[in-house]
Copies of this chain bind each other. A is one copy, B any other.
Amino acid sequence: MPSDAPTLGWQDVQAEALRRIRSRDWPPGALIPNEADLARELGCARATVNRALRDLAEAGWLERRRKAGTRVAVAPVRKATFAIPIIRRDVEERGQRHGYRLLSQAVAPAPAGIATLLRLPGAAPMIHLRALHLADDRPWCLEDRWLNPAIPGVTGADFAALSANEWLVGNVPFSGGDIAFHALAADPATAALMDCAPGAALLAADRTTWAEAVPITAVRLTYAPGQRFVTTI
């Protein structure tokens, strides 16, 4: 084994650890050496080992507990990460021209499901928007959104000119939320808008977003047939 004169970086340490995991040198469930020992063995500082192993633990390869030490995960839970850009950028990054049409805007009592989701009182009045996003003039995505009218500035926004999606990104700092992907069959109205057959299988994403404890919006994005969400792991 040639001695590696240049100092080891954390990426090297991580690669070496991954190699040992994959080669079953450190089999699933096994306790691996502690950070201090590894640092000595590899000839680097403990902080470097820590950085490498911490990242592996976050990625699901290792399970670490103080005093108990570090174990190789038995069933590594892989994680897939999806980027959620604003819709216009999503379209433009595919080299297509983004178009946008506001279909309707109204103030209406939120349906029970939406109100519950946002933890608002039963029939609280909210802003209801429906809009169609286009890619090269073809239907891309239907946006069905309920907006909390208490958001500063929201009543003055012109959603015919700028989509709520984009307005929110630029004007409302949000802290969190959740997303659910699911499949649904196109109802007749949606099918007409999407230029597809009624009953066609469509991919949809339901999102709710919050600024701290204040509900911002609940939106369903229904994508045109054939669309896929792709990622690399």
**Residues on A facing B (Cβ under 8 Å):** 21-24, 28, 60, 75-86, 89, 169-170, 173, 175-185, 199-204, 211, 225-233
Contact = CB atoms under 8 A, between A and B. Distances in A.
A230 B76 contact: no
Contacts of A204: 183
A179 B57 CA distance: 22
A69 to B, nearest CB: 22
Q: Which 3 pairs show the lowest CB-CB distances between chains A and B?
A: A22-B173, A183-B183, A201-B201
B170 A28 contact: yes
Nearest to A166: B75
14 contacts: A23-B173, A24-B173, A75-B89, A77-B85, A78-B83, A84-B233, A176-B232, A178-B232, A179-B230, A180-B230, A181-B203, A182-B228, A183-B202, A184-B201
A152 to B, nearest CB: 12
Nearest to A172: B22
A161 to B, nearest CB: 17
Given A83-B77, A203-B183, A233-B84, A22 B175 contact: yes
B21 A177 contact: no
Given A183-B202, A202-B201, A233 B170 contact: no
Given A181-B181, A201-B202, A202-B201, A79 B77 contact: no
A80 B75 contact: no
B169 A75 contact: yes
A176 B233 contact: yes
Contact of A85 (B21, B75, B83, B202): B75
A79 B80 contact: no
A185 B201 contact: yes
A207 to B, nearest CB: 8
Contacts of A181: 181, 203, 228-230
B75 A86 contact: yes
B79 A81 contact: yes
Nearest to A89: B75
Contacts of A169: 75-76
Contacts of A77: 83-85
B227 A182 contact: yes
